[in-house]
Amino acid sequence: MPEISRDEVAHLAMLARIDLSDAELDHLAPQLSVILDSVASINGVAGDDVPPTSHAIPLTNVFREDVVVPGLTAEEALSGAPAVEDQRFSVPRILGEEA
Amino acid sequence: MSETVRRTAAELAEALAAGDVTSTDLTEAHLDRIEAVDGAVHAFLHVDRDGALAQAAESDARRSRGEARGVLDGVPIAVKDVLTTRGLPTTCGSRILEGWVPPYDATVVTRLRDAGLPILGKTNMDEFAMGSSTEHSAYGPTRNPWDLDRIPGGSGGGSAAAVAAFEAPLAIGTDTGGSIRQPGAVTGTVGVKPTYGGVSRYGLVALANSLDQAGPVTRTVLDAAMLHDVIGGHDPRDSTSIQQEWPSFTEAARAGAAGDMTGVRVGVITELAGDGWQRGVMARFDESVELLVRAGAEVVEVSCPSFVHALATYYLILPAEASSNLAKFDAMRYGLRVVPEGDPSAEEVMRATRDAGFGDEVKRRIILGTYALSSGYYDAYYGQAQKIRTLISRDFDAAFAQVDVLVSPTAPTTAFRLGEKLDDPMAMYLNDLATIPANLAGVPGISIPNGLAEEDGLPSGFQVLAPALADDRVYRVGAALEALHTAAWGGPLLDKAPELAGAATPEGSR
């Protein structure tokens, strides 16, 4: 079973958009190794002939009636926003500094 | 303690119908009880005194006009803080949603409002429902009313403790791997996870959307059934909602309460016993099975060999889904925004916000899920887990070809001490050993209190599982066993719970 290294945890945290401090990395990396070690027991349990299940009670082609129903007003949709400008979500700059 | 708050929801409904009590009276009684004991228990994150009393007054006005909306009109309820409530804070136990007031109601909440149940407040939970002890709440743990130094289970420890401490006659929980049933077991209360798709998930902040299911948290099986009848049924806003007519669960519970189990085939799951199961929990389980046999049930042992892989399977599927679901907390549209110094980019704001806003357990699971879904590991972990999910469903199919219901202890142990397993994630995860298979296969399950473990005097729970769509069976068998136990004990198990300190009310009040 591959150990999960501190560097790998740092990389995964970056992918998951979480800034982990050094102390958090020290704390979480060994715990994640223990968890991964435990879940690795499922390797090879199910053969290629077993189909995967994503939903236990599968439904297909679910549509609602094609009728207009009221949605949120702009004011309601913006009511929890950290910052609002001109009836829009106001966000930090998207591009890097060099852009 | 006021006698009002000790009565079941069914009794309160009868008293309301008979005109012996008003919704305002009993809503006030529960709000007073919350005020008296919740400082010690901490079941609630938010109490809506004014809103609940206004809803109670409306209920009383309706009833006086002869326009009561249903049997539970006027009976107050507590709602787990993972369901959106228009105008009431919804935090999911997380800092990232601190102070968020949703602009819409979850369908479950809409149905409660339509049925006239005043909403007392929002109950505490492990952050985003990740945990088995409610210790992962960013707002501090809930305490078990049986012993305030012990956990109330999780993630829905707040809802279970609220009904166990008589702060609410009814509550709503959500169950992704046992978060309704395990808290029920360790607090001596009743919890039901309906068939996946039986209760709408619209407005339920998703942890793992293929596993999550909302359901009743109560003190009796009949109360759970009555509540299920209110919240269940098809919802066009949830694409996984099952479109069919459901039988009356209230009637199933009433039929079961006669205590006759003649002809009912009960399967004891071989794999859910053995090492790691507390002696007193197993003793109570054997006793309950014996009661069912004496009531006419035909009991056999049934093996579900893939269940030994259920825990590992769950801890791959859940983090994978959770890491995707929680990506929406991006500091842009709602919730916390932490802005680092300088002129940070949106991505830097996201990273800082998610570090500050999420707790340890949430970070662990997001990173685990990110790992399980990353290329190179996907087939070995997530793909393999989805296949074992199929094997677990097949085990259920084979078992239900032989028996009508399956039974096991709900949780391997009674309530442990606060802090005991906080830094040992695997030890914490083991609490869900018996409850997880039902979520993976989508089948319904109930936990009912079945006594106190001899070694510590704390409650244990008995789980009944039924095939998908056959939720009526868990009510029928649950009600039967509850009736048999209650007769043997001479009253409900909660009569044996200690009186909570600071809860004394002056003689003659209410």
pLDDT digits 0-9 by tens, B123-164: 999 999 999 999 999 999 999 999 999 999 999 999 999 999
Closest CA to B6 of B165, B225, B159: B165
- Shortest distance between the Cα of B335 and any Cα of chain A, in A, equals 7
Q: Confirm whether pTM is higher than 0.90.
A: yes
Average pLDDT of chain B, as a whole number: 96
Instruction: Give the chain B residue nearest A94 (alpha carbons).
Output: B346
Question: What span, in angstroms and rounded, lies between the C-alpha atoms of A98 and B338?
Answer: 23
Q: pLDDT tens for residues B386-409?
A: 999 999 999 999 999 999 999 999
What is residue A2's predicted lDDT score, i.e. its pLDDT? Answer: 58
- What pLDDT is attached to residue A99? 47
Structure tokens at B463: 């789980």
Sort out which chain A residues have CB atoms less than 8 A from B387's CB and list them.
45-46, 50-53
Distance CA B144, CA B159 (A): 11
Q: How many helices (H) and strands (E) does chain B have?
A: 16, 11
Domains and CATH numbers, chain B: 3-286+408-496 (3.90.1300.10)
**pLDDT (average), residues B404-417:** 97
Q: What share of chain B is helix, strand, coil (3-state, %, to 5)?
A: 45, 15, 45
For B193, half-sphere exposure in the C-beta direction (CA atoms, 13 angstrom radius) is: 35
Q: Which amino acid is at B46?
A: H
Which residues does chain B have within 8 Å of residue A76's beta carbon, measured at their own beta carbons?
Answer: 103-104
Confidence of residue B7 (pLDDT cuts 50, 70, 90): very high
Q: Which residue of B has its CA nearest to A33?
A: B368
- Under 8 Å between Cβ of B443 and A57: no
Q: For residue B4, is pLDDT > 80?
A: yes
Q: Average pLDDT, stretch B90-105? A: 98
Q: How many whole angstroms separate alpha carbon B10 and alpha carbon B462?
A: 22
Q: Which residue numbers in chain A have pLDDT < 50?
A: 1, 99
Would you place residue B502 in the very low, low, confident or very high pLDDT band (cuts 50, 70, 90)?
low
- Confidence grade of residue B509 (pLDDT, cut at 50, 70, 90): very low
Asked if residue B185 lies in contact with residue B459, where contact means CB atoms within 8 angstroms, the answer is yes
pLDDT (0 to 100) of residue B42: 98
Q: Where are the alpha helices (DSSP H) in B273-359?
A: 279-294, 310-325, 346-357
Q: What is the mean pLDDT of residues B27-51?
A: 98
Q: Tell me how close the Cα of B491 comes to any Cα of chain A, in angstroms.
A: 39
Chain A nearest-CA residue for B437: A56
pLDDT number for residue B508: 37
> Is B386 within 8 Å of A24 when comparing Cβ atoms?
no
- Cα–Cα distance for residue pair B173/B460, rounded to 1 Å: 19
Q: How far is CA B488 from CA B7, B410, B484, B485, B492, in A?
A: 20, 21, 6, 5, 10
B29 min Cα distance to partner chain A (Å): 33
Q: Report the alpha-carbon distance of residue B350 to residue B278 in Å, rounded.
A: 44
Pairing of strands B190-193, B170-174: unpaired
Residue spans of the domains in chain A: they are: 6-38
The pLDDT, as a whole number, for residue B426 is 87
Task: Convert the pLDDT of each residue in B481-492 to its tens digit.
Answer: 999 999 999 999
Name the residue among B215, B238, B211 with its Cα closest to residue B130.
B211
Residue B374 appears among annotated catalytic residues: no
Q: Is the pLDDT of residue B504 over 60?
A: no
Residue B510: its pLDDT value, please? 37
